[in-house]
Structure 1
Amino acid sequence: MERIKEVYEEHKHRYGYRRITAQLQHEGLKINHKKVKRLMTKMYLYVIAIRRKYKYSSYRGIVGKIKANLIKRSFKSVMPNRKWYSDVKEFHLNGEKLYLSPIMDGCTQEIISYTLSRRPVLKQVMDMLEHAYKKYPSLNGLIFHTDQG
C-alpha cells in the first residue's frame, strides 16, 4: 500500500491503477491490477481527470447526395489514373495542428498532388484538385474516391 501511494504521489495523482500496476510489475513486484484497484479505492486514491482536447472530425452526417460506391473495396488498379483516393489527415507537430490532403493513384501508389494547411477548409481540397488537374488535364474514366466526410 505504501509503494502504491508513493507511485501515485510521484506522478502527481495522474497514474491510475493500470499504470501503477505496470510500474510495480516493472519494479519486480508480482501484483494483480484488481488488487491495486481495490487498494487504491480503499485509500481513496483517485486519478485527476484530464480534459481531452477536441479532435477534428469532418463528418457532419448526410449532406447532399451520396454517390454509388464504385470502388467496392477493390482499391488496386491495373492502369494508372483510373482510381484516385483522397482524404484529409490531421497531424500534431510541435504543439500545432496541420492538415494534409493528398491524392494517391490506385495503380502506382504515387502521390499525384497534396496540400498542407493549418485549418481543414474547402480551399485546401480545391487547391489540391487544381494541382492534380493541371498535371493530368484529360482523365477520362477516372474514379475519384474520398471518404464521406
Structure 2
Amino acid sequence: MNHKRVAHLMQTIGLVGLRLRRKHRTTTADPAAAKAADLIGRDFTAAAVNTRYVGDITYLPLTGGKFLYLATVIDLASRRLTGWAISDHLRAELVTDALAAAERCRGSLTGAVLHTDHGAQDTSRAFADACRQAGVIQSMSAVGSSADNALAESFKATCKRETLQGRRAWADEREARLDLFRRLHHYNTRRRDSSLGQHSPITYETAFATTATNLAPAAYPVSKIPGQGPCDRP
C-alpha cells in the first residue's frame, strides 16, 4: 500500500504516529572495571520469586534539556518491580539505592542473582560491595548487547511510553517523580501481564507464585516527594 494512502487513512480516523526520539545514553562501560559472568543467558524466567532479578537505568527527559534517571530492579518470576530509585545523577548511589529498596521489599535477597548490563554504575566497586553485603550474586550481559537484558529494556521503554503518552518531556522534576510514582504503583498492582496469565505482578505473587519465606510485608516509600520505592501494597 502506498504511504500516501496510509497517511490519508490515519488522518481520516485521527490516528497519529509516535516518532521515537534519539536515545539519551545511560550505559557507559568502564574498560578497567571488574566484570561478572552472564548467569541469565537470555532466559528471563525464574521458578520462584526472589531468586532472579534484572536491573537497569533509563533517562527521564525534562523540559529544557535536563534529565532525571530511573534505576529499577525487577523480579523475573513475577515481573514485580521490587526496587527503584530516581535521581538527577548517574553515580553509583542510584543503583545501590534501587538495590536497597529491593532488599527492604523482600526482607532478604541472599542467594538471588541480579543481572545488569556493563554500565559504569553496575560495575562500580560501590555496587559490588552493596551486592556482596546483600548476599546478591552479580550477573552481567555482554557489552553492547541490549538483547542480553531484554526484559529490563522492554520495561523501561513501555514505562516511558505509557507515562509520557506522546509528550516529549515532563515539565519539571516534581511532575516526573509524581507521574512515575503513580505509573510504577499501577504497574505492580493493576497492570495485567500476559506472561502472568493476565494478572498484575502483586496479584500473581499473592495468589499463584510460590513465595519465598523471607518476603517482608510491602510498604510505601517514606518521602515528601516520591523518588524511591521498595514496594507497593497488594
Name the TM-score class by shorter chain.
0.5 to 0.7
Matched, 1:85 2:88: no
- SS of residue matched to 1:64: coil
1:99 aligned partner, one-letter code: Y
Q: Compared with structure 1, are the counterparts of its residues 67 and 54 closer, same or farther at alpha carbon in structure 2 (3 Å cutoff)?
A: closer
Superposed CA RMSD in Å reads 2.5
Name which of 99, 103, 127 aligns with 1:129: 99
Cα deviations by residue, 1:64-96 (Å, 9 ceiling, x for unpaired): 222111101111112111111111101213233
* Aligned pairs for 1:46-125 within 5 A: 55-95=24-64, 96-125=66-95
The percent of aligned pairs where both chains have the same amino acid is 25
* Mapped partners of 1:54, 1:135: distance in 2: 31
In structure 2, C-alpha distance between the alignment counterparts of 1:78 and 1:133, rounded to whole Å? 19
TM-score, normalised by the number of residues in structure 2? 0.38
Helix, strand or coil for the counterpart of 2:73? strand
Change (3 A) 1:54 1:134: closer
Distance (Å, rounded) in 2 between the aligned partners of 1:108 and 1:54: 28
Query: Number of aligned pairs?
Result: 101
Q: Which has the higher helix share?
A: 2
Shift of 1:61: 4.1
| Alignment deviations for residues 93-129 of structure 1 (CA, whole Å, 9 cap, x no partner) | 3233111101000011010010111121111111111
AA in 2 matched with 1:121 = R
Which consecutive residues of structure 1, in runs of 5 or more, have no partner in the other structure? Answer: 1-21, 27-52
Higher relative contact order (CA 8 A, sep 6+): 2
Q: How far is the alpha carbon of 1:134 from its aligned partner?
A: 2.1
Helix, strand or coil at the partner of 2:32: coil
Unaligned runs of 5+ in 2: 8-21, 120-234
